[in-house]
Amino acid sequence: MYFLDLLGTFAFAVTGTLKAKGRDLHLFGALFFGLSIIGLSAFVIIGVSVSYSFLFDPLQVPGQISSGHTLISFISCILFGMLTGFGGGIVRDAAMGDLPFAFKKGSNYVSSAFWGAFAFYVLMFQNITLAVVISFLITFLLREVISEFGIYNKVYKGNGKNGK
């Protein structure tokens, strides 16, 4: 599970750094967006200490674990999980002066985070490790396989990034 935490943190650091590189920021600016703004803002919003949150991945899991331990409602738990899943990207895009990708037509960030959060909530009372793995797989598959530039659009519709 620690490997998934590191993998998620690395992935968000890379996307933040690439976004900064695309905007011609110097090394410090790229490191700032790659390491600090991406996932930490969501944790501040839900009240998790920043030093604690650095150990977790930027998927929906940390927000849901925090909200699940406080026994808040099902809907609130799902919303916290979703916010943790895509909140960092929204803050990153807004800080760069762009419309957040999660809000653009064709993006499935929000729906991927919802289904991952839903799966986690259903499974977290049975087995927390299984809940983390299954919700990670659901979120990853929905986001990377059935996304605007994923397999569905490239193969079925033919209008992906390298499509017709």
CA 22 to chain centre: 20
Does some domain include residue 162?
no
Residues 82-125 have pLDDT tens digits of 877 777 777 777 777 888 878 887 778 888 889 988 998 889 88
**Which structural domain, as residue segments, surrounds residue 131?**
2-157
Does some domain include residue 163?
no
Q: Does residue 33 carry a pLDDT above 60? A: yes
Residues 37-56 have pLDDT tens digits of 555 555 555 555 544 443 34
Does some domain include residue 164?
no
The span from the CA of 75 to the CA of 88, in Å, is 20
Closest CA to 127 of 8, 1, 43: 1
Does some domain include residue 95?
yes
As a whole-number percent, the residues of the chain with pLDDT over 90 amount to 4
**Number of domains making up the chain:** 1
- Stronger pLDDT, 17 or 78, i.e. the higher one: 78
Does some domain include residue 146?
yes
- Which residue has tokens 């990853």? 140
